[in-house]
Amino acid sequence: MEKLKNKEELISRRNLLKGSAMALGTIAVSELSGRERAFAVLQNKSRVFFTKEISIDGLLKIYSKINQSMTGKICIKLHTGEPHGPNILPRDMVKALQQHIPDSNLVETNTLYKGKRSTTADHRETLKINGWDFCAVDIMDENGAATIPITGGNHFKEMSVGKHMLNYSSMVVLTHFKGHAMGGFGGSLKNIAIGCADGPIGKKIVHAALDNDDYES
């Protein structure tokens, strides 16, 4: 790319790119608007809120935008991490949000791989090491699993999840993003899907590890 001559040219190019992106978006929507199925999807798309304020106040402001639909007993799903982290969210932010939500607690499930979170006893020790002891933490598969149906699933018609997940009416998902060792990208889908599947059954099913002896030892 050639070097930009001055600041005005830089601003001009940024505006052009921004305008082009908006125009392309409009064209794509226009082409799909005549198709009934696509139109239905567009009409029911989720609203997404974004903030650059990475702080307790910023998190609480974002939550205030979506908490109208949070009812009943509420759980907060996040990755609580291996002993001493480092891939965990700031505890002070999570604590502030949890204390802001009445009748809420953190939730996790045990892991499939052998480590310091594969059994409930070891998992609770890891939670304590990492500072997740400011409220109750429900390890959802501590007392077994429950099978829930999947409507319209391509690979699964049902999934095994931590039994305690059925005790909640709403779930708030706090996610840290990371590059994955297998070349994927960890985000909210992983936090919910693998994160709510129970260790002994659900996670094996998702990873297609039913016949893998490495997970049996």
pTM here is 0.74
Rounded CA gap, 32 and 37, in Å?
9
CA dihedral defined by 8, 13, 18, 23, rounded to 10 degrees? Answer: 130
Q: Residue 204 corresponds to which amino acid?
A: K
Q: Mean pLDDT over residues 155-184, rounded?
A: 86
Q: Mean pLDDT over residues 2-31, rounded?
A: 36
3 state DSSP class of 146: strand
Least reliable range by pLDDT among 47-51, 102-106, 146-150, 205-209:
205-209
Per the model's pLDDT, the better-predicted residue between 212 and 159 turns out to be 159
Examine the pLDDT at 159 and tell me if it is beyond 90. Answer: yes
CA distances from 67 to 63, 80, 82, 172, 173 (A): 6, 23, 30, 9, 12
User: How high is the pLDDT of residue 34?
Assistant: 40
Examine the pLDDT at 2 and tell me if it is beyond 90. Answer: no
User: How high is the pLDDT of residue 210?
Assistant: 52
User: How high is the pLDDT of residue 3?
Assistant: 39
Rounded CA gap, 29 and 163, in Å?
41
User: How high is the pLDDT of residue 40?
Assistant: 45
Examine the pLDDT at 143 and tell me if it is beyond 70. Answer: yes
Tell me the pLDDT tens digit for each residue of 65-93: 989 888 899 999 999 999 998 889 999 99
Examine the pLDDT at 19 and tell me if it is beyond 80. Answer: no
CA dihedral defined by 166, 79, 65, 95, rounded to 10 degrees? Answer: 100
User: How high is the pLDDT of residue 93?
Assistant: 96
CB within 8 Å of 122: residues ≥ 6 apart: 115, 116
Q: Mean pLDDT over residues 182-195, rounded?
A: 78
